[in-house]
């Protein structure tokens, strides 16, 4: 097996070009790889029930920013919560929104990518990250060698 380090976003091209045997990628790159390059999903962390729940997305800031901007910080968290709930309640509308961020992709790629993540609960259902979701996320990061040790 051949693994190479590439810049984020270049994982699939490395496999398609034969420079690597596997890639760790997220949607919509995974669906593009299937539809445009004939590649196949070998394993999906988000679809594997043993990894659920999974903290895929996060919001990060400093305590100093929160202290200085409490209303702005709360507004961001509230918007994230609303978006998380919206995705599951309105999948078709979520595809329409996603198309605005990926206008160059065929509609079917965006639709498949969004639906795959909904089915796998790959998007957070709400902003509260459980300890289990955090642990799963850290264990995957360890597995992928994105971190050297579980942060304490």
The predicted structure's pLDDT at residue 134: 82
Distances (CA, A) of 34 to 25, 31, 95, 127: 12, 5, 18, 30
Show the 3-state SS of 39-100.
CCCCCCCCCCHHHCCCCCCCCCCCHHHHHHCHHHHHHHHHHHHHHHHHHHHCHHHHHHHHHH
Percent of the chain with pLDDT over 70: 94
Name the more confident of 99 and 135: 99
24: left (phi over 0), alpha (psi -120 to 50) or beta: beta
Q: What is the pLDDT of residue 56?
A: 62
Domain limits, the chain: 43-143
């Amino acid at each position: 097996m051949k693994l190479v380090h590439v810049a984020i976003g270049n994982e699939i091209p490395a496999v398609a070009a034969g420079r690597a045997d596997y890639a760790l990628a997220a949607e919509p790159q995974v669906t593009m790889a299937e539809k445009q390059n004939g590649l196949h999903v070998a394993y999906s962390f988000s679809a594997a029930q043993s990894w659920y729940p999974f903290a895929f997305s996060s919001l990060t800031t400093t305590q100093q920013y929160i202290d200085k901007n409490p209303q702005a910080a709360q507004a961001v968290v509230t918007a994230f919560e609303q978006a998380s709930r919206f995705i599951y309640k309105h999948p078709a509308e979520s595809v329409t929104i996603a198309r605005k961020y990926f206008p160059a992709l065929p509609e079917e790629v965006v639709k498949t990518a969004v639906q795959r993540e909904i089915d796998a609960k790959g998007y957070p259902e709400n902003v509260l990250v459980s300890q289990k979701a955090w642990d799963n996320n850290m264990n995957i990061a360890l597995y992928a060698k994105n971190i050297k040790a579980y942060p304490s």
